[in-house]
Amino acid sequence: MSQYSVWSVLREGLRGQTGWDRAWRDPEPKPEYDVVIVGGGGHGLATAYYLAKNHGITNVAVVEKGWLGGGNTGRNTTIVRSNYSQPVSTQFYEHSLKLWENLSHDLNYNVMFSQRGQLGLFHTPAARDAAAKRANTMMACGIEASLLSREQVMKMVPHLDYSENARFPILGAMLQKRAGTARHDAVAWGFARGADNYGVDILQQTEVTGILREGGKVTGVETSKGTIRAKKVGVAVAGSTGHVMRMAGIERLPIESHKLQAFVSEPLKPLLDCVIGYAAPGAHFYISQSDKGGMVFGGDLDFYNSYAQRGNLPIVQDVAECAMAILPCLGRVKLLRHWAGIMDMSMDGTHIMSKTPVDKLYLNAGWCYGGFKATPASGWHFADLIANDRPDDLTAAFSLDRFERGHTIDEKGMGPTPKLH
Amino acid sequence: MIRIKCPFCGERDHSEFSYGGDATVEYPALDASVEEWNKAVYQRANPRGPHREYWHHLNGCRSWLIVERDTLTHEVGTAEFAHPGLTEALK
Amino acid sequence: MSGYRLDNGGLIDRSEPLSFIFDGKSYSGYEGDSLASALMANGVDIVGRGFKYHRPRGIMSASVEEGGAILTVGAGRFREPNVKAPTQPLYEGLIATGQNAWPSVQRDVGRINDVFKRFLAAGFYYKTFFGIRKGTKDWMIFESFIRKAAGMGRASREPDPDKYETAHASCDLLVVGSGPAGLATAKAAAEMGKDVILAEQDFALGGSYLSRAGGIGEAVAAINGLREAGVTILPRTCAFGLYDGCVAGMIEQVTDDPGLHGVRQRMWVVRPSEIVLATGALEQPLAFGNNDRPGVMQANAVRTYLNRYAVSPGKRAVVATTNDAGYETAHDLAMAGVPVTLLDARDMGPDAPEGVKVMRGMVPVRIKGSHKVEGVEIGMLDDEGYAKARDTLSCDLLAVSGGWTPVVHLTSHRGPKPVWNDDIHAFLAGPTNEPIRCVGAAAGVYDHDACIASGKAVAAGEAGPVPQAGAHPALPLYEIKSREKKFKRFVDPQHDVTADDIRLAEREGFVSIEHNKRYTTLGMATDQGKVGNVIGIAIMADASGRTIQETGTTTFRPPYSPISIGALAGRGTYMHFRPVRKTPLHDWNMRHGAVMTDAGLWKRPWYFPRDGETVDDAYIREMIAVRSTIGLCDVSSLGKIMVQGPDAGDFLNRVYVNGFAKLPIGKARYGVMLRDDGVVYDDGTVWRMSETDFLMTTTTANAAGVMAKLEEFLQTRWPDLRVQLTSVSDQWAGVAVAGPKCRDVLAAVTVDCDLSDEAFPFMGIREAKIAGADVWIARISFSGERAFEVYVRGGKAEAVMDALWDAAKPMGGELYGTEALGGLRIEKGHVAGSELDGRNSLQDMGLGGMASSKKAFIGKALTQREGMLADDRLQLVGVAPVDSDKRLRAGALLDSRADMVDHGLGFITAVTDSPELGHWIGLAMVRGGLAEWEGKELTSYDPVRDGNTAVRVMSPHFLDPKGERMYG
């Protein structure tokens, strides 16, 4: 693998870019692996990477039916933060954030994690108290957070709507300075290149068509390129979780698939230097600006079960209204593209990382809105779960059986209605 | 825009409705076991393809409907009153 | 390029000169000009700079696919970045500015990047810039420079001053595009009696008619025919997306100058039964050396400038073509008196047009000239697709036709991937079972008469057109490869993606077209690949030894061309962003000095200040009044649902944890309902008016949700129950009359209403009359004082409130708002939204005793799960500061240690300064609850506001725990 650095970029510039290797190999499948990961998105690739790096397990294949990062990894709005409401989630996402901070160096690949800070606006005294509780929870977990007054927010982002015409006045914001955005595709490519470098086989255009079991234990996968035997199988296929788990005889899961739209404007010179989250009655919105200059934003789900990666007009209009509600200067900015990703919406708004009723079959699913920011920690802990066949302290709470046991982790307090999480 | 033919109001945009989830779920009796309730409340088949689902005509006649819809293409088939006696009663 | 205005012709009004400004310099054009044609007529050649290398760019096209002339239009609050000059009609006083350049597009210092271009290959930024230091600090320094260099136009930071609106329409047929095929389809369909809407993105109707010599007259005739046939015509309206149910989203540019009250753009949501796409085709460029220089244009665009705008883009032209289209351009140039040489990459082709020198088998290899086209080196292709320059033609215009790409974006929005057609070397719409058809060039039919025929045929319900290669098939040529590395061959001129970039990405393993797009940014610019996609895919296919069909295409996403966010938001801005809900007493409250607060969508009185009081002063005074004399509060926002029918009691029994079937007539009862998962959902009172009539009240927040849930139960789970639900939340107003003198107030305003404890006990309800209005009165209390709530029809609310206030005020009464309401309920230990956060069990709230053991109810089963019964759950307690001078804060955490290292034992949910107790108190959720912590000290941890405060845990019922005040 060619090492990436400023020197390699200069050297290749001088010799006409002829010396670059493939970022990852394109191998034929071996007949057997120690671990097969189903799903070549960020989570699957990160899992393979950490299996090799943290556990020395390198006889691993990542099996992907399409192209790497073609699911939600390459469709999200790229926000990374660790300001969750439930303490166990805060701790999990904080581990992820810590991994993000050194990910470019770790992978020798610039994932462009930009810690430009996230402002979570609030609009009522009660929402201020809720923000304070969240910030206090973070501080108690050792995560820096602060509460900004309206005046401090005005100073930081002068062109939000502070006028009397604003339907919901901005009273202030919670700030997480270490939050930010990253380059989503680069995360998939960086983990793929890193895993490949450890000897992991990345098998693109290889669709899993069956999960092989003997006596309640997984033994491999059937694929469009033949049978691949495996001692352990990890499934990380957000958006297709039900489909794949059905192959292992698991007919029902506490997950519904919903679509979430994402939006990007035409590129602009710098207009917004931080990430903004907006939650008001009947409104949910988040926006940042990519390094290329596009305003990247999104809002609510389309609110019905769907496997179509395209959205519908009511949410397009709703999200545009939200954009105007906080940044009325966006009226003359033009929307360039909108699309949708399929979200695994779990029954309590929190992900599932767990052993399953099938021995040596592991499930990583149900990420709701949190999947992208979770990528490194998801890989880290899922690898640990697979390597040791037991959840670590941070993962135990995210088990599949928490629903029947009554230990749900309800991020928004909306109960078993996936569309509301 | 998904268009749903409400049997009472006619064809309307889906934005008039509120999605109500999987209509094949059979809620058990109130005094049924924890296991039965766990299954009904939490476990979903979540199919990719044809799906029987509830839509509540929230900003219309407020009927709960059972709609056949494909979750992959969003193609809508039949839409009927969820209440079994309503179709007959309205005749 | 040195364009100039022709003496005759064009769809311009030479009697209407318009002046405009570009980069500070004044120019003039005519009514009917686009900004691009006016610039061209004035001989302006450099109008932009490339994204990465800052190379000069000129006008490349005559429509939305423009990759060079992308400008900022307007100034100050009116500035709109990234306007494609060919799509912008000229108007008097238009101000345009070049982008991505300093000090100007003519002299841009960013040009230095072009010197370093060898280092700036595709994806170079993934390989460097992460810096030496751990963490993200180094990258963020680089990033700040990259961000400034990237982006295109600069947006205003001031609010958009203009207005937008939304319109809805239905029709039998929506035709998109007003070229020959679109006009023919619309006319034929309208004559068959169909209701037709026709949308055209351009500001002039006619499509390719307008590019043809003599086409303007034909277009006018065709459009007149359409109007006579009754077609609704929407010019300057971009059908930007097709959504489920074949619903089309369209944006109409109503005017460039709406003034104070007008509308700038209108969004149309159209629900057609059928759609015909007559969206035409995009002319493809060719990749060859320095093909981004000003003066290189689409061949068909050259015709548009000549015939529609009467502007010649150059004085000496070369046309390079792979198909017959170049001949028409050459012909029209020659007719305009421009010397022209035609290079046909094929060995055959039509006869040379009059006055045109045709060179067969010749292709452009490289443009000469550092700032604009000064000539073109030409050569012949070898078997491997390489060409070597062997001659140079002097020119200032190179018109290129690399074949056509039908505009099938809208069909792609519906899901079907475009399919490659080997006969015409183009992607056509994929198969669909939806009523969407393509006609004319959008279906791969390029001949003018065939386009018209295809429109008529499809309108008549006949089969769509079959594309054919014709007598002189086009040559599938995308790139003229050169063994000289030095010259960039641009594929995507907006994002500065070159053929070498695509090959490099392929070598590095980005072989999926989606990977290649994302790695090189091909097709991600503001034209969304209209210019570069197909040649990019062809180069990928060539590099990886696959066919174009195997390589595939990326998914087209809406919008077809960029649309303003303001138009999508329509009227849903500012105070209309979300509905403002006002109670029937809103105006009354305002007249009596209320300061309002947002409670969900409601405006509710927060407090009623006197003489410059702060909220903290006011709510204490209001609380004291309720505890000592009397207070009135508007509680109309509570949900109110009539539950009626023979099975209403049974129904309520199933919905609430406690029993209602045996509630006596004339009595109310507090009830709590759970969700299916056993978590507390909502609480309120239920009043029994008769054997079969109940009134349910809900919290303000859950009013709509409870109603929907009850309807769900009755229609889907228990259809056998004979119950009718009616929401009366908006129809009824409610007033809390709370305090020791509540009976005196009611006695003063009611007639024949016995208010004695015997006749009207706690939780009793009565009908009565106040100020001539029929009211229901219930003796219920949220504050813990003796209190009544009075409900009345909204229309009579002010009269009733006037009467109550006239009685209460002389007794020392006060109006109170939500802040005092909250304080009073905290003193009493009544839970509300801040405690009921969707995660609590009944036991957590100290309400476990309410659950009936005699009946089943919603949520009961799942309350029996282990996690719902655990002792260490968060449970409701009261807290007070150990030092009674200290204040408390909602949102503070609680822990037994001062140096919290984990997330603690719980948190404070709501606080108030209690005038009754003389210090702050709060409600809190703590692991283990009172059983574990009563009487013990905890630390309130609030680092983001007040720091640590020692608190003592106690019963949440701070005041009158036995309820003596309430019961009387």
pLDDT in tens, C407-424: 999 999 999 999 999 999
Report helix, strand or coil for C195: coil
Give the pLDDT of residue C132. 87
Kindly state whether residues C932 and C889 are assigned to the same domain. yes
- What is the tens place of the pLDDT at every residue in C354-373? 999 999 999 999 999 999 99
The nearest CA of chain A is from the CA of B21 a distance in Å of 8
What residues in chain C have their Cβ under 8 A from chain B's Cβ atoms? 243-245, 247, 269, 271, 415, 654, 676-677, 708, 711-712, 714-717, 719, 856-858, 860-862, 864-865
Q: For chain B, say whether A304 makes contact (Cβ under 8 Å).
A: yes
- Average pLDDT on C390-409 reads 97
Kindly state whether residues C651 and C715 are assigned to the same domain. yes
**Residue C129, domain CATH:** 3.10.20.440
Question: Which token pair is C946?
Answer: 């007040």
Give the pLDDT of residue C794. 97
Question: Using omega within 30 degrees of 0 as the cis cutoff, is the peptide bond preceding C559 cis?
Answer: yes
B44 vs A253, A308, A312: nearest CB: A253
Question: How far is residue C526 CA from its own chain's centroid?
Answer: 18
The nearest CA of chain B is from the CA of C856 a distance in Å of 5
Alpha-carbon distance of A373 to A390, in angstroms, equals 24
Residue C397 C-beta-side C-alpha neighbours within 13 Å: 35
Sign (positive/negative) of CA torsion C325, C331, C337, C338? Answer: positive
Determine contact, residues C443/C406, Cβ cutoff 8 Å.
yes
Q: For chain C, say whether A415 makes contact (Cβ under 8 Å).
A: yes
In a mutational test of the B interface, the residue from A240, A246, A253, A304 whose CB has the highest number of chain B CBs within 10 Å is A304
Set of chain C residues whose Cβ sits within 8 Å of the Cβ of A333: 81, 155, 564-565
Indicate whether C116 pLDDT > 90: no
Query: Band of the pLDDT at C966, cuts 50, 70, 90?
Result: confident
Kindly state whether residues C146 and C186 are assigned to the same domain. no
- Average pLDDT on C771-796 reads 97
Question: Which token pair is C967?
Answer: 């019961």
Q: Which helix (H) or strand (E) holds C621?
A: helix C615-628
Set of chain B residues whose Cβ sits within 8 Å of the Cβ of A304: 2, 14, 19, 53, 69
The nearest CA of chain C is from the CA of A254 a distance in Å of 13
Set of chain B residues whose Cβ sits within 8 Å of the Cβ of A255: 44, 46
Q: What is the DSSP code (8-state) at residue A68?
A: T
Query: Band of the pLDDT at C31, cuts 50, 70, 90?
Result: very high
**Residue C875, domain CATH:** 2.40.30.110
Q: What is the CA radius of gyration of chain B?
A: 14
Give the pLDDT of residue B89. 87
Residue C327 carries which side chain, given as an amino acid letter? Y
Question: Which token pair is C616?
Answer: 């903290």
Report helix, strand or coil for A64: coil
Q: For chain C, say whether A177 makes contact (Cβ under 8 Å).
A: no
Indicate whether C901 pLDDT > 80: no
ipTM of the complex in this document: 0.98
Set of chain B residues whose Cβ sits within 8 Å of the Cβ of C716: 20, 23, 54, 64, 82-83
Binary contact (C121, A330; C-beta < 8 A) = no
Indicate whether A257 pLDDT > 80: yes
Kindly state whether residues C14 and C116 are assigned to the same domain. yes
B44 vs A240, A256, A304: nearest CB: A256
Give the pLDDT of residue C579. 96
- What is the tens place of the pLDDT at every residue in B37-77? 999 999 999 999 999 999 999 999 999 999 999 999 999 99
Give the pLDDT of residue C110. 84
Kindly state whether residues C675 and C796 are assigned to the same domain. no
Residue B33 covered by a domain = no
Set of chain A residues whose Cβ sits within 8 Å of the Cβ of C116: 13
Q: For chain A, say whether B1 makes contact (Cβ under 8 Å).
A: yes
Alpha-carbon distance of A188 to C484, in angstroms, equals 35
Kindly state whether residues C430 and C384 are assigned to the same domain. no
Indicate whether A85 pLDDT > 90: no
Alpha-carbon distance of A67 to C441, in angstroms, equals 33
Give the pLDDT of residue C943. 95
Question: DSSP letters of C205-265?
Answer: S-GGGGGSTTHHHHHHHHHHHHHHTT-EEETTEEEEEEEGGGEEEEEEE--S--TTTSEEE
Residue C576 covered by a domain = no
Question: Which token pair is C814?
Answer: 């006060």
C862 vs B14, B18, B34: nearest CB: B34
Binary contact (A347, B42; C-beta < 8 A) = yes
Where are the alpha helices (H) located in A145-266, listed in sequence order? 150-156, 184-197, 241-246
Q: Crossing angle of helices C533-544/C499-507, nearest 10°?
A: 40
Residues 6+ apart with CB under 8 A from C547: C420, C541
Q: For chain C, say whether B38 makes contact (Cβ under 8 Å).
A: yes
Q: For chain C, say whether B8 makes contact (Cβ under 8 Å).
A: no
Question: Which token pair is A239?
Answer: 């958006």
The four Cα atoms A306, A312, A314, A315 give a dihedral, to 10 degrees, of 70
The nearest CA of chain C is from the CA of A411 a distance in Å of 9
Give the pLDDT of residue C718. 97
The distance between the two most distant Cα atoms of chain B, rounded to a whole number of Å, is 40
Give the pLDDT of residue B41. 98
Residue C839 covered by a domain = yes
- What is the tens place of the pLDDT at every residue in C220-247? 999 999 999 999 999 999 999 999 999 9
Where are the alpha helices (H) located in C809-923, listed in sequence order? 818-828, 866-869
Q: For chain A, say whether C487 makes contact (Cβ under 8 Å).
A: no
The nearest CA of chain B is from the CA of A342 a distance in Å of 11
Number of other residues whose CB lies within 10 A of the CB of residue C352: 17
- Average pLDDT on A169-175 reads 98
Set of chain A residues whose Cβ sits within 8 Å of the Cβ of C51: 267
What number of H helices and E strands is found in chain A?
11, 19
Could you say which of C127, C157, C187 is where a domain stops? C157
- Average pLDDT on C426-449 reads 96
Residue B35 covered by a domain = no
Indicate whether A150 pLDDT > 80: yes
C-alpha angle C233/C238/C244, rounded to 5°? 100
Considering chain C, what is the average pLDDT of its residues?
96
What letters, b where the CB count within 10 A reaches 16 and e where it falls short, cover A310-327?
bbbbbbbbbbbbbbbbbb
Binary contact (B40, C676; C-beta < 8 A) = yes
Kindly state whether residues C633 and C643 are assigned to the same domain. no
Backbone phi, psi, residue A397, to 5°: -65, -20
Considering chain A, what is the average pLDDT of its residues?
96
Return the closest-CA partner of residue C479 out of C358, C363, C347, C318.
Answer: C363
Strand C639-644 vs strand C311-312: parallel, antiparallel, or unpaired? unpaired
Indicate whether C899 pLDDT > 80: no
Determine contact, residues C48/C72, Cβ cutoff 8 Å.
no
Residue B46 covered by a domain = yes
- What is the tens place of the pLDDT at every residue in C792-822? 999 999 999 999 999 999 999 999 999 999 9
Q: For chain A, say whether C600 makes contact (Cβ under 8 Å).
A: yes
Indicate whether C1 pLDDT > 70: no
Residue C544 covered by a domain = no
Backbone phi, psi, residue A254, to 5°: -80, 50
- Give residue B66's domain range: 3-27+40-89
Number of other residues whose CB lies within 10 A of the CB of residue C737: 27
Kindly state whether residues C171 and C270 are assigned to the same domain. yes
Q: For chain A, say whether B24 makes contact (Cβ under 8 Å).
A: no
What total number of domains does chain B contain?
1
Beta strands in C32-100 (DSSP E): 48-49, 56-57, 70-73, 80-84, 94-97
Kindly state whether residues C739 and C887 are assigned to the same domain. no
Residue C356 C-beta-side C-alpha neighbours within 13 Å: 27
Kindly state whether residues C248 and C350 are assigned to the same domain. no
- What is the tens place of the pLDDT at every residue in C118-136? 888 999 999 999 888 999 9
Binary contact (C715, B41; C-beta < 8 A) = no
- What is the tens place of the pLDDT at every residue in C266-302? 999 999 999 999 999 999 999 999 999 999 999 999 9
- Average pLDDT on C707-722 reads 97
A306 vs B13, B38, B74: nearest CB: B74
List all residues of chain B from 46 to 65 with a beta carbon under 8 Å from chain A: 46-48, 51, 53
**Residue C648, domain CATH:** 3.30.70.1400
Determine contact, residues C13/C91, Cβ cutoff 8 Å.
no
Set of chain A residues whose Cβ sits within 8 Å of the Cβ of B14: 304, 312, 314
What letters, b where the CB count within 10 A reaches 16 and e where it falls short, cover C858-870?
bbbbbbebebbee
C860 vs B30, B64, B83: nearest CB: B30
Q: Which helix (H) or strand (E) holds C565?
A: helix C565-569
Alpha-carbon distance of A204 to A362, in angstroms, equals 21
Residue B32 covered by a domain = no
How far from C772 is each of A188, C126, C634, C666, C730, CA to CA, in Å?
A: 72, 78, 20, 22, 21
Which chain A residue's Cα is nearest to C81? Answer: A333
Indicate whether C622 pLDDT > 80: yes
Determine contact, residues C522/C530, Cβ cutoff 8 Å.
no
Alpha-carbon distance of A300 to A322, in angstroms, equals 10
Set of chain C residues whose Cβ sits within 8 Å of the Cβ of A135: 944
- Average pLDDT on C174-184 reads 98
Which chain A residue's Cα is nearest to C863? Answer: A406
% of chain C with per-residue pLDDT over 70: 100
Alpha-carbon distance of C312 to C6, in angstroms, equals 7
Residue C847 C-beta-side C-alpha neighbours within 13 Å: 25
Give the pLDDT of residue A250. 97
Please tell me which chains touch B, using 3 or more CB pairs under 8 Å as the contact test.
Answer: A, C
**Residue B72, domain CATH:** 3.30.2270.10
- Average pLDDT on C480-509 reads 92
Kindly state whether residues C426 and C349 are assigned to the same domain. no
**Residue C768, domain CATH:** 3.30.1360.120
Question: Which token pair is A257?
Answer: 């698939």
Number of other residues whose CB lies within 10 A of the CB of residue C421: 15
What total number of domains does chain C contain?
6
Could you say which of C356, C384, C402 is where a domain stops? C402
Could you say which of C95, C129, C157 is where a domain stops? C157
Cβ-based contacts under 8 A for chains B and C = 73
Kindly state whether residues C152 and C234 are assigned to the same domain. no
C136 vs A22, A68, A101: nearest CB: A101
Strand C340-344 vs strand C356-360: parallel, antiparallel, or unpaired? parallel
Give the pLDDT of residue C114. 83
- What is the tens place of the pLDDT at every residue in A101-114? 999 999 999 999 99
Give the pLDDT of residue C941. 95
- Give residue C795's domain range: 586-637+731-823
Question: How far is residue A326 CA from its own chain's centroid?
Answer: 25
